[in-house]
């Protein structure tokens, strides 16, 4: 077989086999038939969230996650900038939500708020430390800080 006849055969057979596959287009999707029954409207009391990021965060009791947030918050506190203090406040707040009985989380939150000059929030955090662990070293330090804020 010569090259010319081989390519001629290719020109004849390739479009015959591949042409229909490339030319077919999928049919448009049609809604399912409701068999004459009326569709029920969706429940409007709880509309579905389109984005998981828009859902409110939940904070189940998780002391390990609280400790992790405290460590990350301490990292931000050591930066010594207003931006670092704001980031630390967010982490310490998360820690207090994961473990509402963590005196350390509230104490660190009070420190960060004090650095940002938010006296009322700092006082509230230090008072919470005294409520949670009145006999601890953190409570003693918190009372000292409360005296400074007054």
Full DSSP string of 80-118: -SHHHHHHHHHHHHHHHHH-TT-HHHHHHHHHHHHHTT-
Is 6 inside any structural domain?
no
Q: What is the pTM of this model?
A: 0.66
End-to-end Cα spacing for the chain: 103
Is 118 inside any structural domain?
yes
How many structural domains are present in the chain?
1
**Structure confidence at residue 119 (pLDDT):** 96
Share the mean pLDDT of the chain.
Answer: 84
Is 81 inside any structural domain?
yes
Instruction: Show the domain range for 105.
Output: 56-149
Is 41 inside any structural domain?
no
Is 129 inside any structural domain?
yes
**Structure confidence at residue 54 (pLDDT):** 76
Is pLDDT at 91 greater than 70 in this prediction? yes
Q: What is the per-residue pLDDT across 39-88, written as a single tens digit (0 to 9) for each?
A: 666 666 766 667 777 778 899 999 999 999 999 999 999 999 999 999 99
Domain containing residue 138: CATH number: 1.25.40.10
Is 47 inside any structural domain?
no
């Amino acid at each position: 077989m010569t090259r010319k006849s081989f390519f001629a055969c290719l020109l004849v057979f390739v479009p015959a086999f591949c042409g229909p596959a490339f030319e077919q287009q999928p049919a448009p999707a049609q809604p399912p038939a409701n068999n004459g029954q009326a569709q029920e409207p969706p429940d409007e009391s709880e509309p579905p969230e389109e984005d998981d990021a828009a859902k409110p965060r939940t904070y189940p009791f998780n002391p390990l996650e609280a400790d992790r947030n405290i460590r990350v918050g301490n990292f931000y506190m050591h930066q010594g900038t207003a931006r670092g203090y704001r980031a630390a406040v967010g982490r310490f707040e998360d820690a207090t939500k994961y473990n509402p009985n963590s005196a350390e989380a509230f104490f660190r939150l009070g420190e960060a708020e004090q650095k940002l000059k938010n006296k009322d929030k700092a006082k509230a955090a230090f008072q919470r430390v005294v409520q949670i662990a009145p006999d601890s070293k953190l409570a003693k330090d918190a009372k000292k800080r409360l005296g400074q804020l007054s």
